[in-house]
Structure formats: C-alpha cells, structure tokens
Copies of this chain bind each other. A is one copy, B any other.
C-alpha cells in the first residue's frame, strides 16, 4: 500500500516531467519548474527520484522498450509484409496519440542522456530500425512493395508520423481513425492520383 502511493507520486513526477520536457526541452526545464508543476518543492522530489538525468532515462527507455517489444510481437505474426508495416505505422500513431509527451521526449531529448545510457539508447534505436528495415526489404523482395531504397523508406515513414504529436487534438474535426487512415493512404498509395 505504501509502495503504491510512492509509485503514484513517482509516476506523477515522470508524467509532468515528460510534459515539461516536451514543451521547454530537457535543458530548459529546471527541477524547480518541475516541482511547481507537481506541487512540491524541488528538493522534495528527490525522495522519489534520484536525479534529473534519471527522469530522462526512465522516459526514454520506457518508450524504446515499448517499440521493441511490439516490433517483436508483430514480426511473429503470419501477416503479409504490407500488413506488418501497416501494424507498425498503426503502433506509432497510437503511441503518439496516447503517450505523446513521452514519445516526443524520446524523439527529441534523448541526446541529453548520460554517456553510457546514451550509447545504450542509440543501440536500442538502431536495433529497432534494423528490424523495421528488414520488413521493408523483405516486402520489396516479395514483390509487395516498390523497389525504393530501404533506408529512405524507413526514415520517411518514421518521420512522417512524428508531426501527429504536435498537431493532433481530439476535436480538431478529425478522429484518430480518420487520421490514421489518411496517413496510411498517403504512405502506401501516395499523394498523386
């Protein structure tokens, strides 16, 4: 019980940190800023977390772990390559909508990780990209996809999904489903008629 309360406060700090890091950047967010947002003095937060760096670590690796485990799951299905890639695009859009602040931090502020954690994060991201790229490559080999450069396709897809987090709000006149459908159409069928 006591443990649960502790976890709640800790999670609150992590959530608010993600929002602030997204809005003002890791360097632009002070522990005093974060304390004000959480409703606590800066020093008090050290009862729940060990350092500012640790907050960034937890956020970044939580996101990368999610992507990696989901990729592994999708790889094991029996779907076509097109459908596997669709599933990955779906995953990216869904995470952007559901946990946009954390994803945004993992995308933009990972470079402020401590040297060793930075290396680990870059390696994790590289592994994810390798797995994603392999799906594209196999899809091309199987004749399901256009014979474009694999890296170009990979990064274009990964980037094309990022803006969602900056733009999408419920009540913009477009639902999450419509949004996803539009992006999927664009990436798979293109803009030209």
Assess whether A186 is in contact with B190, with CB atoms less than 8 Å apart: yes
Q: Is A183 a contact of B167 with CB atoms below 8 Å? A: no
Contact with B along A126-163 (1 / 0, CB 8 A): 00000000001000000111101101110111111111
Chain A at the B interface: mostly helix, strand, loop or mixed? helix
B186 touches A156 (CB 8 A): yes
Interface string of A178-191 (1 = CB under 8 A from B): 11001101111111
B146 touches A192 (CB 8 A): yes
A174 at the interface (CB under 8 A from B): yes
Number of chain A residues whose Cβ lies closer than 8 Å to a Cβ of chain B: 46
Asked if A25 is at the interface of the complex by the 8 Å CB criterion, the answer is yes
Say yes or no: A111-B24 contact (C-beta < 8 A), given A182-B149, A190-B190. yes
Interface contact A146-B24, CB-CB below 8 Å? no
A143 to B189 CA separation, bound complex (whole angstroms):
16
In the bound complex, residues from chain B placing their C-beta under 8 Å from that of A31 are: none
**Most chain B CB within a 10 A radius of its CB, from A112, A182, A191:** A191
- Top-8 shortest CB links A-B: A190-B190, A27-B27, A189-B190, A155-B163, A152-B182, A188-B192, A159-B163, A160-B160
A-B contact pairs, 21 of them (CB 8 A): A23-B111, A25-B26, A25-B27, A27-B28, A108-B108, A136-B191, A144-B192, A146-B186, A146-B189, A146-B190, A146-B193, A148-B186, A149-B182, A151-B174, A152-B186, A159-B159, A159-B161, A159-B162, A159-B163, A162-B162, A186-B187
